[in-house]
Amino acid sequence: MGVMSGRDNAAATVVQPPLSQAVGYIVVVVVGLIIAFVMVLVTRILRQTVHDGQPDGENWAHCIRCYIFMALEHGDAGVFPSEIITDILRTGIHIIAATFLLPVGVALYTFVGGIKATFLTDYFHTAVILIICCYFTIKAFTIEEIGSVGHLYDLVKAASSRHPVEGNHAGSYLTMSSHGGILFGIIHLCANFGLVIMDTSFFVKAFSASPAAVVPGYVVGGIAYFAIPWGLGTLMSSVALGLEENPLFPTYPRRMTPTEVSNGLVLPYAAITIAGKGGAAAMLLITFMAVTSTLSAQVIAVSSIISFDIYREYINKLASDRDVIRWSHYGVVFFAIFSAAFSTMLHYVGIDLGWTLYMLGVITCPGIFPMAFTILWKRQSKAAAIISPVLGMATGIAVWLGTAHAFYGEVTVASTGQALPCVYGTVAAAFSPIPYSLIITLFKPQNYDWADFSKERLALEKLEDDLSTVHSRSSHRGNAHVENGKPGVLSSQELKRWGRIAAIWSLATFFGHWVLWPLPMYAAKYIFGKSFFIAWLLVAIIWLWGTMLIAIFYPLIDGGIQQSMEVYSYLRNRNTSDEGNNRKEGISSPNTSTPGSSSEQASVGDVPTEELKT
């Protein structure tokens, strides 16, 4: 790829896997199944006690895979438009075996535990990932070759002198003035905006909680999360740059190849440099947890689309609740297999991390404005909502491929992965649906009544929140007033209030992170001095540690302690009840038959005949 032109493309010696195949299989299979078993068990206990979900801790795998690739190529300017990076660390395990084994544990706990298990797993995985990230911030300065932030600055400055960066001011890594960085910033901003708008996994998690919990959670999470690309990304990319020609570095005596950088091996190599095999094991664990957490969210999203939006809407409109749940289970299995097969196809056709990051916006952006118009503009027609994203994607792909041919004379994986074609294609895909939607709507505008939302019924009558158990209507009639009167249901005024808060924070975050901070530094063509770099990195590391503390302890304070107490109380009462039953059985006649309890008889009688047949 063009952004890799500063690196030698000649044949390079192969870096031997730092870990054995056994370690790879233990993490992918054994650890995956243990986590699945524990999460299913905890979900079962919570379902019987608190009847509630857990706060969400989102940590996207592609975010865990993309940062240092950009920081290595564009220096500190790569921090802002990208997030963190790694790729699956090579352990000797065959990549196809790992690809198909990874979804096994995910499918298991998602199949049984549903979205609650996904929340719990996200929290656990996020906590482990952040602890390891903070460990690297300490370990990096304990090796003699680095020692301090000031010496790390000297190493990076020396790397800039040896290998100047094309497109950066003065060829320096220590500047925000980067042509490649600003292009990737445009791509990444549009692509990720499209991702959070169009990805159903975000909707499923956001809709599963009250706005009073969702808005503060996303505000705190968004601000805290920025420390990962900024803190860990700056540190580990600087380590890789400074020690790339040191005997400790895995590729010594050569530099990393473009393929290694684009495949996301910079962070694993840096981790091995500062922590040896322990760093390799830590990176394997981070990658495993990030991938499984992301896959779990996607499995939930796809299974809900298959069961509700396809099966119940178009195949069987009279489907019972049990039928819908059964099809959601089919969706879990289907997507687990499909994702592994699709990843295998990408591997064998030569698609790598860098290409994916650059072209992602062409696919994710066409639905941004049609979706916004659908929610905010009552005049948009149904035809416009359906057709304009399709036309936008076609426009984006045409511009993307056309500019690749115009600039580089060919349409190949290499040419379509360049920055300029992807910028043009992403922008075209994002903004072309605006005129398409307006023009189509002009032919036959609608006048949607927003009050119809209040008439919508639940897709299912009354389900356990793991989406695996269906109750009858009558069994919950007695609790209807509790459901309707619970504090979680907000009035329209409260919804508007939280909507305003979300909008204000979104604008403030955008201007702070994308305009007021990076753009003046880009225009100033400032090259970091040692004092500035020390302050920059120390603040980023402090922010990262704060993120770890927030991610681990805030959910516990916000409700985790209360739920833990309820679980403890439930288990204690159950043990007391079991002891009492055992004493009664000891004095009862062994020939006495005990009929089922009245509650059990009632619960069976409440289940409709059609459900019992099912």
Q: How far apart are CA 290 and CA 130, in angstroms?
A: 11
Q: How far apart are CA 192 and CA 250, in angstroms?
A: 32
Those residues with Cβ within 8 angstroms of residue 155's Cβ, 6 or more apart along the chain or in another chain: 146, 238, 241, 242, 243
Please say if the pLDDT value at position 53 is more than 50: no
Please say if the pLDDT value at position 72 is more than 70: no
Please say if the pLDDT value at position 185 is more than 60: yes
Please say if the pLDDT value at position 476 is more than 50: no
Q: Would you put residue 367 in left (φ > 0), alpha (ψ -120 to 50) or beta? A: alpha
3-state secondary structure 218-230: HHHHHHHHCHHHH
Q: How many residues does the chain have?
A: 614
Task: Give the pair of three-digit tokens for residue 292.
Answer: 């499984």
Give the closest residue to 569 by CA, choosing from 45, 42, 44: 45
Q: Answer for the pair 58, 212: CB distance below 8 angstroms, yes or no.
A: no
- What Cα–Cα distance (Å) separates residue 119 from each residue in 135, 301, 486? 24, 13, 22
Give the closest residue to 414 by CA, choosing from 259, 200, 250: 259
Query: What is the structure's pLDDT at 436?
Result: 96
- What Cα–Cα distance (Å) separates residue 164 from each residue in 58, 73, 99, 161, 456? 36, 10, 37, 6, 60
How many CA atoms are closer than 13 Å to the CA of 391, on its beta-carbon side? 18
- Give the CA angle between residues 542, 543, 549 to the nearest 5°: 90
Please say if the pLDDT value at position 498 is more than 90: no
Please say if the pLDDT value at position 12 is more than 80: no
Query: What is the structure's pLDDT at 563?
Result: 66
Q: Answer for the pair 240, 68: CB distance below 8 angstroms, yes or no.
A: yes
Query: What is the structure's pLDDT at 87?
Result: 41
Query: What is the structure's pLDDT at 119?
Result: 75
Query: What is the structure's pLDDT at 27?
Result: 76
Query: What is the structure's pLDDT at 48?
Result: 62
Q: Longest C-alpha distance within the chain, in Å?
A: 93
- What Cα–Cα distance (Å) separates residue 398 from each residue in 352, 364, 446, 612? 22, 15, 31, 54
Is residue 249 classed as helix, strand or coil in its secondary structure? Answer: coil
Classify the C-alpha dihedral 565-571-575-577 as positive or negative: positive
Query: What is the structure's pLDDT at 354?
Result: 80
What band does 70 get if pLDDT is binned at 50, 70 and 90?
Answer: low
Query: What is the structure's pLDDT at 288?
Result: 84
- pLDDT tens-digit map of 89-102: 455 677 788 788 87
Please say if the pLDDT value at position 466 is more than 50: no
Is residue 409 classed as helix, strand or coil in its secondary structure? Answer: coil
Is residue 423 classed as helix, strand or coil in its secondary structure? Answer: helix
Q: Would you put residue 51 in left (φ > 0), alpha (ψ -120 to 50) or beta? A: left
Q: How far apart are CA 356 and CA 503, in angstroms?
A: 30
Is residue 10 classed as helix, strand or coil in its secondary structure? Answer: coil
Those residues with Cβ within 8 angstroms of residue 591's Cβ, 6 or more apart along the chain or in another chain: none
Q: How far apart are CA 449 and CA 453, in angstroms?
A: 8
Those residues with Cβ within 8 angstroms of residue 582's Cβ, 6 or more apart along the chain or in another chain: none
Q: Answer for the pair 324, 308: CB distance below 8 angstroms, yes or no.
A: yes
What band does 58 get if pLDDT is binned at 50, 70 and 90?
Answer: very low
Classify the C-alpha dihedral 449-450-456-459 as positive or negative: positive
In eight-state DSSP terms, residue 455 is G
Task: Give the pair of three-digit tokens for residue 466.
Answer: 């793991």
Is residue 168 classed as helix, strand or coil in its secondary structure? Answer: strand
How many CA atoms are closer than 13 Å to the CA of 37, on its beta-carbon side? 6
Residue of higher predicted confidence among 594 and 167: 167
Q: Answer for the pair 11, 258: CB distance below 8 angstroms, yes or no.
A: no
Cis peptide bond prior to 17, omega within 30° of 0: no
In this structure, of 69-78, 274-283, 307-316, the range with the lowest mean pLDDT score is: 69-78
Q: How far apart are CA 58 and CA 485, in angstroms?
A: 30
3-state secondary structure 476-532: HHHHHHHHHHCCCCCCHHHHHHHHHHHHHHHHHHHHHHHHHCHHHHHHHCCECCHHH
Please say if the pLDDT value at position 62 is more than 70: no
Please say if the pLDDT value at position 226 is more than 50: yes
Please say if the pLDDT value at position 218 is more than 70: yes
In this structure, of 169-183, 198-212, 217-231, 381-395, the range with the lowest mean pLDDT score is: 198-212
What band does 71 get if pLDDT is binned at 50, 70 and 90?
Answer: low
182-204: average pLDDT:
84
Q: How far apart are CA 93 and CA 99, in angstroms?
A: 10
What band does 299 get if pLDDT is binned at 50, 70 and 90?
Answer: confident
Q: How far apart are CA 500 and CA 516, in angstroms?
A: 22
What band does 353 get if pLDDT is binned at 50, 70 and 90?
Answer: confident
Task: Give the pair of three-digit tokens for residue 296.
Answer: 């779990």
Residue-averaged pLDDT of the chain: 78
What band does 65 get if pLDDT is binned at 50, 70 and 90?
Answer: very low
What band does 262 get if pLDDT is binned at 50, 70 and 90?
Answer: confident
The highest-confidence range among 54-63, 99-108, 356-365, by mean pLDDT, is: 356-365
Please say if the pLDDT value at position 460 is more than 70: no
How do the domains of the chain map onto residue ranges?
17-175+213-297
Backbone angles phi, psi at 61, to 5 degrees: -65, -40
Query: What is the structure's pLDDT at 85?
Result: 35
Those residues with Cβ within 8 angstroms of residue 263's Cβ, 6 or more apart along the chain or in another chain: 87, 352, 353, 354
- pLDDT tens-digit map of 529-580: 999 999 999 999 999 999 999 989 888 887 666 666 766 676 677 666 666 6
Query: What is the structure's pLDDT at 444?
Result: 87
Q: Helix %, strand %, coil % for the chain, to 5?
A: 75, 0, 25
- What Cα–Cα distance (Å) separates residue 20 from each residue in 90, 378, 493? 9, 59, 59
CA-only gyration radius of the chain, Å: 27
Query: What is the structure's pLDDT at 220?
Result: 87
- pLDDT tens-digit map of 326-343: 898 888 889 888 988 998
Please say if the pLDDT value at position 153 is more than 90: yes
Cis peptide bond prior to 595, omega within 30° of 0: no
Q: How far apart are CA 562 and CA 555, in angstroms?
A: 11
Those residues with Cβ within 8 angstroms of residue 598's Cβ, 6 or more apart along the chain or in another chain: none
In this structure, of 42-51, 337-346, 366-375, the range with the lowest mean pLDDT score is: 42-51
What band does 273 get if pLDDT is binned at 50, 70 and 90?
Answer: very high
- pLDDT tens-digit map of 417-435: 999 999 999 999 999 999 9
Q: How far apart are CA 177 and CA 163, in angstroms?
A: 17
Query: What is the structure's pLDDT at 363?
Result: 92
Q: What percentage of the chain carries pLDDT values higher than 70?
A: 74
230-235: average pLDDT:
90
